[in-house]
A = this chain, B = another copy of it.
Amino acid sequence: MSQPEGVPAMEYRFLGRSGLQVSAISLGGWLTYGGHVDKEGTFECMKTAYDCGVNFFDCAEGYAGGESEIVMGEAIKKYGWKRNDLVISTKLYWGQAFGDNIVNNKGLSRKHIIEGMDASLKRLGLEYVDLIYAHRPDRQTPIEETVRAFNHLINTGKAFYWGTSEWNADEIAHAWRYADKLGLIGPVMEQPQYSMICREKVETEYSLLYREHGLGLTVFSPLGGGILTGKYKNGIPDDSRYAQQSVEFIKGFWQRTGKEQWDERIQKVNKIEPIAEKLGVKMNVLALAWVLKNPNVSSAITGASSPQQIVDNCKALAVLDKLTPEIMQQIDEILENKPPALTPRF
């Protein structure tokens, strides 16, 4: 580990109410590794992240049809990192790439959780992951079966902690209900989207879960899929990550929420940029620091197609102290999307 110059010291946070510490900034393989970033590029990114103090690398069986796990696993081996220095995660839900008859190669049945875990570990070249996620709610499998199956993974040493990704609050509450009832381990973390432009689930819906279960968050898309970097303010440039595979994503966004809303978001970013300038940082750094300011966020999972992006992102760690209540309020006033607090006794 040779910390690159100008990069602040990494901050480590407990993963919710657990004893595990994850780097506040982490690196994920979604849309990049195993996909449009080639093997060498992946290795370089992971090396740089590791050198910046990132200990948490996030993956999923569904990323790039399993290729993401393969290449990330290779990086770990290539650099000879010690297993106990790393927090490796993967997620189960979309295993359909791995069979001819997909009916049972997806979802959160006991069968897929166990078979999927084994296949993931094989691709990663690991004996266990630290974190295993349910990569969506499976509303057709009884939650009890899912809770039991994740506990089976923990009991057989294939994972240390389990959590969810994009579950509703009441689904997580039901998972805890079964865990409590059966004396099993409940989901300790959730992986939602969270950024300046996507706040409701994290800031309102999950409130009770932080208090009741100490839920920790490992959030994805902290830069709003790139919007919060400011790079789209003059349209979609050719050299962006989207240039290759995500023009469709943006078009999809427009279809789902309207071009109008996209433009509105771009305008908000334009209004926030002066605040970033005043703080002497780039927009993406401010946006990431803003996410990390939320104490329920254990880690912000960033994507990167070049080492430089990682170095840049890590600068957010130096900005947290500068985000005074006044500045946070200014930002809220521009964003106009702060969800109302759940009303207290009234």
List the interface of chain A (C-beta within 8 A of B): 1, 12, 14, 17-21, 53, 55, 81-85, 87, 95, 98-101, 103-112, 114-115, 119, 130, 136-143, 145-146, 148, 152, 154-157, 160-161, 168-174, 176-177, 180-183, 185, 205, 207-209, 212, 214, 342-346
Contact = CB atoms under 8 A, between A and B. Distances in A.
A233 to B, nearest CB: 30
Contact of A170 (B55, B140, B208): B208
7 contacts: A18-B141, A19-B109, A19-B145, A21-B103, A55-B103, A148-B185, A156-B157
Given A170-B169, A181-B181, A183-B182, A108 B19 contact: yes
Nearest to A113: B19
A212 B140 CA distance: 12
A111 B160 contact: yes
Contact of A160 (B55, B110, B170): B110
B87 A104 contact: yes
Nearest to A110: B160
B110 A174 contact: no
- One complex includes copies of this chain to the number of 4
A74 B173 CA distance: 42
Contacts of A214: 142
B174 A346 contact: no
Contacts of A176: 177
A140 B103 contact: no
Nearest to A140: B345
Nearest to A183: B182
Nearest to A95: B84
A316 to B, nearest CB: 19
B99 A85 contact: yes
Contact of A84 (B111, B143, B172, B212): B111
A28 to B, nearest CB: 19
Contacts of A85: 99-101, 104-105
Contacts of A137: 342
B208 A18 contact: no
A99 B160 CA distance: 18
B346 A136 contact: yes
Nearest to A346: B136
Contact of A138 (B19, B83, B185): B19
Contact of A174 (B109, B152, B205, B208): B208
A138 B170 contact: no
Contacts of A112: 19, 84
B107 A19 contact: yes
A21 B104 contact: yes
A18 B345 contact: no
Contacts of A172: 170
A174 B175 CA distance: 10
A103 to B, nearest CB: 4
A187 B1 CA distance: 38
Contact of A99 (B17, B84, B171): B84
Contacts of A12: 103
Contact of A20 (B55, B111, B173): B111
